[in-house]
Structure formats: structure tokens, C-alpha cells
Structure 1
């Protein structure tokens, strides 16, 4: 996990162009002792190969693989450009994150940063930031834009025989994931859950919540509460409004009398239902391809850019997930999302294509990955 401090942040910067900005942030990396002064040549060469602009007002200039011997220690330097820097092709960078990495440690940094910076409101908030703490909170993920929901927050067929036990386990999933404290679990077991119909129940709380999130628990036992059957319990922890999309999906399921989808689905299907970036037809789709990353240093910026370029050749909608990572599907045509997969050497990527040239897209993706994504 990347931990930023005030020493990593420089505010109120200005630059006439991206070359000037890159030279400035390379100097900051060198002044911190992270890299040798010559590292700037690698950063400039890297920019010539492919733009390091990620989107949402963010650029991540870094060196080439053959300049890694000039890195003394993995780290970052962050500069804030409130007036923006023209990064080419109409892209404006407001935050520039210079990266120094000795091997593939930077993939973890990129994964954290891109996950945090992929939310729609981040660009404006970064542009309007006035303090180093504002920048640090945004980059460290302390400002939450999406409520948490992952396989670790799903427990299927638990042998629970009463609602108190269901609430305790559902709350425990959120506690184990770091979303809540004991106070939340204690509150949950004392509250009456709301019956949403057809055996689906909902309980929520706000006490002791550190990050908004949702857990789902189904039971393998015959269970009743207030005279109604209990088949599944959804527990929502809320400390901001980021859980709103989950409630909207739950309301839609109830309206359509589709509550059974919650307690009859597998983990992957539940993620598909509640994670809007996940294709809901993943299980039934024939247009699925799984390919292994052969690049020695994984999906760093350059091969990620090559992969995105290969996908953009096709009209089909293409989603991709890192099976060996968090297994969450993202838009394969978004460079920031692809880098955020954190794909390392040997990881398997699963692609799902939907559209008029879906099969051709998967074939093209397979060829691009097999060719090494410009790295041989």
C-alpha cells in the first residue's frame, strides 16, 4: 500500500507543456534520492513511446525498463497543477504523479492510484484541491466514491438457523474487510431486519462504519423471522452516500419480484448483479477469452496502452478482469482501468466481448497478448 506524506506533494505548480512538467517532477524524484539525475532521460523517452496520460486529469510519467538501474528506491512524487498542463491530444493533467520503480512494485502503486482515481468526481476534486491533505486524502482513497462489495463480503450457504446469527455473520464479513468496527456488529444484531419479500431481508447501520460497503449472506438451513422465511440477508454499512447504487439495484430486484436472484446465485453472479462494471451475462456468454500475461514486468503503462489500442480497433464492448487479482470486470478500452487491474507476469486476464465483431475482437486481443504487447 502506498502511503503518501506531505513531503511527496508539491502544490501550485505551473508548466507551459508536459516536457517542462516531466523535467520538474524528475528533479523532485532525484532530490528525494529516489533516482539518479539521468533518470529524466528515461521518463522523456517513455513519453515519446506512449502518452502517460491516464484520464480524469491524471498523468503518471515514469522511466523505461532499461533505466530501472537508475532507480535507488521505489517511490513517487506528486505535483498539483491547478491551471492544468496540456498532455497532448486535448488531454489536460491537473495532477502529475512521477513514479520511480526498481522492478514491478509500481504495479501495486498504479493499481491503488487508478482504482482511487477512476471515479467520475475525482478530476474536479483534484483540480479544486487547495491543501496537501486534500490531495493525500483523494489519492489514499480516504474519499470514498464507490461502496465496497467483493467476494470477501459474500458468504453462501452458511448454516445459520436464526436472524441474530445471520446478522452477526453478515456484520462480521464487513468487519473482517475493514469496513466497520465491533460497534456496527453489535448494533446489527439488535436491529430488526426488513423483509423485502420472498425470503430476502435487509439490515443496515451507521455506527462504527469506516467505509461504506455491503455484505450478502445466504443460509443452508430452514430459517424464519417474524413468521416469514429467511433465505438471504443483505447488510449495508453506510458512512456516506456511496451505497446508493446498491440500494437502487435492490429496489429494482424487489420491484421485479426477482429476490430469488440473490439467494440462488453464485459469487460471480452476485458480483455481476451489484457491480455495474461487470457484465451480467458473464456465465452464459460464448464470447469469452482467457489469456495469460507473458510480459516480464506485467501490465505496466506501455503494454497496457498497447492492449487498449488493440481493443479499440473493434466496435464491440469489451470487458476484462484479472482472474488472479480482484476478478472485477472493467472497460478494456480505458487505459486507466486496464492499468488498475494490476496484472503481473503469469496472471490470467478474462475478456468478454459483446457486439458485431466480438469474436474478431477476442482473436485480435489474443494475438496482441501473445506477441508481447510491443515488448516481444
Structure 2
């Protein structure tokens, strides 16, 4: 099985554009004996057909089916671009050059989809300093989302001043294993920021092992520097994984939702700061369904997968797809990462369920695209 290792990675690379980046990656594949020299042209040609940018700072440049004979053995070359390379439809910080004799690379694509849909991946790759940092991100071992759960919430605490509020908020983070006493020592000396309506914010980075957010509200009114204190949010930060929660908080504040935060119970607070992707469920009795068999020799790798997703995105209807020859799970057909994660191989049957005003037309169009080979003839 093809896997990603630290030996595949070349750090601190720069390139003026994706053509130069791909050329360097092809040279690495050649030097390692994976491909013949002419394979670079196949990689460049492949890029002109459709972008290999997957999102979240990752691209997977590879050759065309016509240059597959130039692959001597399956392998990868990973280049890290800390300054980023403009891929045309997004910035790339890690490019994974793939040389595959058949469909061995589908395992890598499926592995990547586990982190491509997560917040914080792009920042983590950009800030990576070592080969192991990058592997940890790609393998899903790096914290990409700050912790925030019921154990980090304390409602109606009988605090008499801001110091007590800060001690409780930081204590929740320590008790959850995110911080040490050094964090508490840091934040109790900091002046919190007033977010309005009696909601306050404090943060720290000393003694932090995991990024997290805690929330404490008061049982009775108290004041800090002449202003009401009703609630305190505390952040611990050891990487960029806290930023999505911070951005969500900013959105709530700009929308003047401070009181919503202060009045919420535990379940409502978790819902307010929920960053997970929400895909509408489809009632099967109101949906259109169709099943198509994949004809592509190497299954739904990046290019045909992108063609399928692009076809689905042409329509307003909600469209979900499941691999009947896989685990049967249903995913959003308009998400490239989720479609690739289905691990679709030649001959697999895909079931599409669509719901909306143009659902029937969407299924007809998707069926035609699959029948035509999704750009591969």
C-alpha cells in the first residue's frame, strides 16, 4: 500500500508559479527512480486539463493516462512551499506529486480527504517546520480544531469579580488537560477585552498543550473597571487551530449576538459554535434516485472525480451519492474530497439521490457525464 512518509518530503521550497513547482516535483520523482524524465510533460498536460488543487493548501499533481507507461514504480514526492504557490484557484503549501502505475494512489487520495474538509489544515501546513509536522497534518494527527465541549462550560458560577471568573475559565482548560498552571498564571495577570453586553474575552499561550475555548457565566452581577460582567470566554492557543472558533466568535459579535451567548444553555452554546459542515438530509420518498456504474479504468481519481463534482454543482438540487460497492455511506456529491473518499474503483456502482426543482434533470446530466467517461473518454 502506498503511504506518505517523512522520506518523501522536501522542505522549504519556493516556486514562482505552479509550472515551476510541478517541474521541480517531477525532477524529484525522476531522481528517486519513480518515473522517466519525459513524465514531467504529462504532469504539465494534466494540469491544463483541470487543476489538481484539492483545497486547504494541498495539490496532487500527476501525469495523464497517456504517460502512465513512463512510470517505473509507484511513488510520491512531496514538496513543502511555506510561502505558498498560486495554483490558479487557491494557494498551495504542500504539493504531492504522484507517480502511479495503476490505482495505488487512490489510497492516498482517500487518506487526504480525512483532513481536506477540516478547518485549520491550510494554516497548519503553512506553519509546519519539520517533515514530521507535515506527515502529522496529512495523517490527521495534528490538532486542527480547538476543543470546545460541555466540560469546558461553567454556567451561573457565583463569582464576585473578574479574577474569580478568569480563575474558573482557566481552571476548566487546565482540568481538561489543555493547559498547565503556567497558563493560569499568565491569564490572571492579563486585562480581558470587553466584547459588549457584559461578555468578556481573555487568552494565553503559556503552558498550553492543546488549543481550546472555555466559557463561564455569572450567577449574579459583578463588575470590572465599572462595566458589567456576565460572561467570560477564555482561549488557550498552541497553534492556529483556535482561529476558526475565534472567527465564529467574531461573526457572532458583529451580528450582535452577545446576549444569545450569555443566555444559552450548554447544548445551545455548543450549537452556536458548531463548525461542522451541515448537509441537508433528503427524505427518500420525495427524492429522485438513480444508479450508475463507473466505467473509468482507474476509478474516480482526482480528474474524473472533479468532473463529476463539477457536473453536480451545475444544479440547485441537493445531491447525495453513495458507493454501493463500498461502505454504502452517503456524502455530498458537490464535495470533491468527500466523493474521492468513497474509494470508487472501476465497475463500482454509485447511487445518486437528488432533491429539488431540477433534481430529475441533474440525475440525467450526471448519468450522461458518467457514461461519457468523466473527461477520460
Give the TM-score category using the shorter length.
0.5 to 0.7
Question: Which residue pairs with 1:107 in the alignment?
Answer: 106
Question: Which residue pairs with 2:27 in the alignment?
Answer: 27
**Contact 2:2/2:104 (8 A) holds in 1:** no
Q: Count residues in correspondence.
A: 253
- Within 2, Cα distance between the matches of 1:30 and 1:331? 37
**Contact 1:316/1:357 (8 A) holds in 2:** yes
**Contact 2:54/2:116 (8 A) holds in 1:** no
The 1:122–1:341 alpha-carbon spacing in structure 2 relative to 1, beyond 3 Å, is same
Residues 270-289 of structure 1 aligned to structure 2 (within 5 Å): 280-281=281-282, 283-289=284-290
Question: Which residue pairs with 2:95 in the alignment?
Answer: 96
TM-score, normalised via structure 1 length: 0.62
Please identify runs of 4+ aligned residues in structure 1 that moved more than 6 A: 275-278
**Contact 1:279/1:329 (8 A) holds in 2:** no
- Within 2, Cα distance between the matches of 1:358 and 1:20? 42
Q: Deviations over 1:120-172 (max 9, x none)?
A: 221111111111111011112323669xxxxxxxxxxxxxxxxxxxxxxxxxx
Partner SS, residue 42 of structure 2:
helix
- Within 2, Cα distance between the matches of 1:277 and 1:105? 31
TM-score, normalised via structure 2 length: 0.62
Superposed CA RMSD in Å reads: 2.5
Could you tell me which runs of 5 or more consecutive residues in structure 2 were left unpaired when the two chains were aligned: 146-241, 243-266, 269-275
Partner SS, residue 127 of structure 1:
helix
Q: Deviations over 1:178-203 (max 9, x none)?
A: xxxxxxxxxxxxxxxxxxxxxxxxxx
Question: Which residue pairs with 1:359 in the alignment?
Answer: 360
**Contact 1:282/1:352 (8 A) holds in 2:** no
Could you tell me which runs of 5 or more consecutive residues in structure 1 were left unpaired when the two chains were aligned: 147-240, 242-250, 253-274
Question: Which residue pairs with 2:299 in the alignment?
Answer: 298
**Contact 2:280/2:318 (8 A) holds in 1:** no
Residues 78-227 of structure 1 aligned to structure 2 (within 5 Å): 78-89=78-89, 91-143=90-142
Question: Which residue pairs with 1:43 in the alignment?
Answer: 43
Partner SS, residue 77 of structure 2:
strand
The 1:126–1:332 alpha-carbon spacing in structure 2 relative to 1, beyond 3 Å, is same
Q: Deviations over 1:78-125 (max 9, x none)?
A: 111111101113x11111010010011111221112223221221111
Q: Deviations over 1:297-353 (max 9, x none)?
A: 111122112112211211112222222223333222222322222210011112222
- Within 2, Cα distance between the matches of 1:76 and 1:291? 32
- Within 1, Cα distance between the matches of 2:129 and 2:142? 15
**Contact 1:278/1:329 (8 A) holds in 2:** no
Question: Which residue pairs with 1:337 in the alignment?
Answer: 338
**Contact 2:326/2:343 (8 A) holds in 1:** yes
- Within 1, Cα distance between the matches of 2:353 and 2:279? 10
Question: Which residue pairs with 2:208 in the alignment?
Answer: none
The 1:286–1:29 alpha-carbon spacing in structure 2 relative to 1, beyond 3 Å, is same
Partner SS, residue 324 of structure 1:
coil
**Contact 1:3/1:140 (8 A) holds in 2:** no
- Within 2, Cα distance between the matches of 1:104 and 1:282? 35
Residues 256-275 of structure 1 aligned to structure 2 (within 5 Å): none
